[in-house]
Amino acid sequence: MGLDFHCNNIGCVENVDITSGDGAGRVGLDLQRGWPGPCLIKHVSITGFDVGIAASHREYSLVFSNIRLQEQRVAGITNNGNVLSLENVVSENSVPAVRNNGGGLVVLINSQLRGGAPENVAIESENASIYLRNIDVDGYSASLVETRRGKDNLATTLTRLQNIHVDEHFTEPLDHAFESIGSGSLKLPIKRTPEIPFPAVSKWVNVRDFEHLVKNGDWASAIQAAVDSGPELVYFPDGPKYSIGKDVILRGPVRTLLGGSPKASIENDADDPENSAAIVLDADLPMVQFHMLASDHIKQDSPTTLLLRHCNSDHISAGPNCGELFIEDTGGKFRFSKHQRVWARQLNPETKGVPEIINDGGQLWVLGLKTEYISTKIENLGGAQTEVLGGLMYPVHPLIDESLPMFVNRDSDISLIHGCSVYKKNHKIYMLDTQAGETREHRDWHWIFGRPITNLYRSVRP
């Protein structure tokens, strides 16, 4: 085995090569310890082993970006029951690139599956669900074979794709409350998360070096002094509660605010974030990232590109001049507005009583969304566009209000692909959908091998 990895809610394997010297070994990246995810696997290359990546268990979903697989002996990726969201995968194998079964869901986009042996199929999916988009296939006898196997152990072929290029394919059926123009996912523009490398340690400052400026527990002056001392990175060690009573402006050469762990945070009046002190992005700041550092309130009313990575986020005030927002491996509460364009990979909101995500007129693209509890998961309104490619909805609560919709869409565009784990009560209304003044309830659930899966729900404005 190359790497046996496990984490929950926030965690990442990034910029790692896993190689078997002699090609042997069972698994390169093992994600089978109960219960893996959600987490982000990014910029990982695996050479050799029987299986490159192996995932199992029904919880809690896994997200992959920029993966290279080569010289596997059984399969590039195997998935037994979990939910995998993958982009930019390059598989150079004679064996199948993907094997998906056990009620699993695999979402695979913008990928290349090369070098297949003519006796093999690129993607095998049995008693499971699949979504493919922009996939190039070379060498294999078929791009995809989907089968269902019943209690009699007889397999029925649902789909066999011979295409060497798959524009878009999803396991039927397409769900909708309203007939709409077009089909398939929304296909919003996709952008990769920009890279902000950590600078040399000589360009770091420790915010605690300015602790003498803290007055009555207010760290605002200390943080501002640290930023204005000219570093490219400001480090926030674990320990203190970094509360601020006035705005802190990020300016100058600073590009990274780094916490000592994902629990590190800059706090304010969380009960009234819009009127409380905030971290403000200066108009001349081209790009900045919060890395393992949560913040109760960030003001983004400048063209600054904002990155949130491996942390929690409570409130972002976005003005009409706001820059792009990229989110990776992050939890919290999310409220997006008409000014925002957002790309999220491994998004994990878990809140109670209010919608976990509100998108009021913004553009939101998500690769891998995982939620818990009894709230509405997404409220999409004000002409918003929201596309979710994979993830897990987990309404784990015995007292769930069954009349509360899982999703709400009001005169906006939305497409959803995800799995669901239900062990107690579930939402009876999947989508409360309003278009052009008419409201309809969509209540259908599709069960595959003992679990509900939304292969694709789509609603667009007329």
pLDDT number for residue 157 = 85
129: closest CA among 162, 103, 148?
103
Same domain, 298 and 164: no
Q: What is the CATH number of the domain that holds 399?
A: 2.160.20.10
Task: Judge if 231 and 281 occupy the same domain.
Answer: yes
What is the number of residues in the chain? 462
pLDDT under 50: residue ranges of the chain? none
Tokens of 47: 């050479």
Inter-CA distances, 177 with 15, 170, 413, Å: 42, 18, 12
Domain boundary among 170, 186, 216: 170
Asked whether residue 104 is assigned to any structural domain, the reply reads yes
What are the Cα distances from residue 338, in Å, to 57, 86, 317, 331, 386? 38, 28, 11, 21, 12
Residue 188 lies in a domain: no
Max distance between CA atoms of the chain, in angstroms, equals: 74
**Alpha carbon distance 8, 280 (integer Å):** 30
Residue 176 lies in a domain: no
187 falls within a domain:
no
Per-position DSSP letters for 148-215, written without gaps between them: EE-TT--EEEEEEE--SEEEEEEPSPPB-SS--SS-S-------PPPP-----GGGEEEGGGGGGG-B
Q: What is the DSSP string of 94-152?
A: SS-SEEEETT-EEEEEEEEEE---TTSEEEEEESSEEEEEEEEE-SSSEEEEEEEE-TT
130 & 214 share domain: no
Domains: count for the chain:
2
Name the 3-class secondary structure at 255: coil
The CA–CA distances, whole Å, from 263 to 94, 165, 258, 292 equal 44, 44, 11, 7
Cα–Cα dist 298/414, whole Å:
26
Task: Please indicate, yes or no, whether residues 229 and 151 belong to a single structural domain of this protein.
Answer: no
Residue 165 and residue 206 in one domain: no
- Domain shared by 148 and 209, yes or no: no
Query: Considering the domain boundaries, does residue 180 fall inside one?
Result: no
Q: What is the pLDDT of residues 304-340, one digit of tens each?
A: 999 999 999 888 989 999 999 999 999 998 999 999 9
User: Cis omega (within 30 of 0) on the bond before 38?
Assistant: yes
CA distances from 119 to 100, 141, 202, 247, 425 (A): 18, 6, 56, 63, 45
Domain boundary among 124, 147, 170: 170
Q: Are residues 148 and 270 in the same domain?
A: no
Q: Helix %, strand %, coil % for the chain, to 5?
A: 5, 50, 45
Residues 7 and 144 in one domain: yes
Torsion of CA 127, 404, 313, 358, to 10 degrees: 100
C-alpha pair distances (Å), 444 with each of 286, 379, 427, 456: 46, 19, 11, 12
163 and 205: one domain? no
Q: Which residue segment(s) compose the domain that 214 sits in?
A: 201-459
Using the Cα atoms of residue 301, residue 276, residue 9 and residue 404 in order, give the sign of their dihedral.
negative
Distance, CA of 226 to CA of 234 (rounded, Å)? 7
Q: Which of 170, 189, 214 is the last residue of a domain?
A: 170
Q: Is residue 373 part of a domain?
A: yes
Among the listed residues 8, 67, 4, the one whose alpha carbon sits nearest the alpha carbon of residue 348: 8
Residue 221 per-residue DSSP state: H
Displacement of CA 430 from its chain's centroid (Å): 21
> Is residue 347 domain-shared with residue 277, that is, in the same domain?
yes
Q: Residues 6 or more apart from 299 whose CB is under 8 A from it?
A: 247, 278, 279, 280, 281, 316, 317, 319
Q: What secondary structure letter does DSSP report for 273?
A: G
Is residue 368 situated within a structural domain? yes
Residue 182 included in any domain = no
User: Does residue 247 sit in the same domain as residue 124?
Assistant: no
Provide the terminal-to-terminal Cα distance of the chain, rounded to the nearest Å.
52
Dihedrals φ, ψ of 227, to 5°? -65, -45
Q: How many separate helices (H) and strands (E) can be counted in the chain?
A: 1, 41
Do 236 and 316 reside in the same domain of the chain?
yes
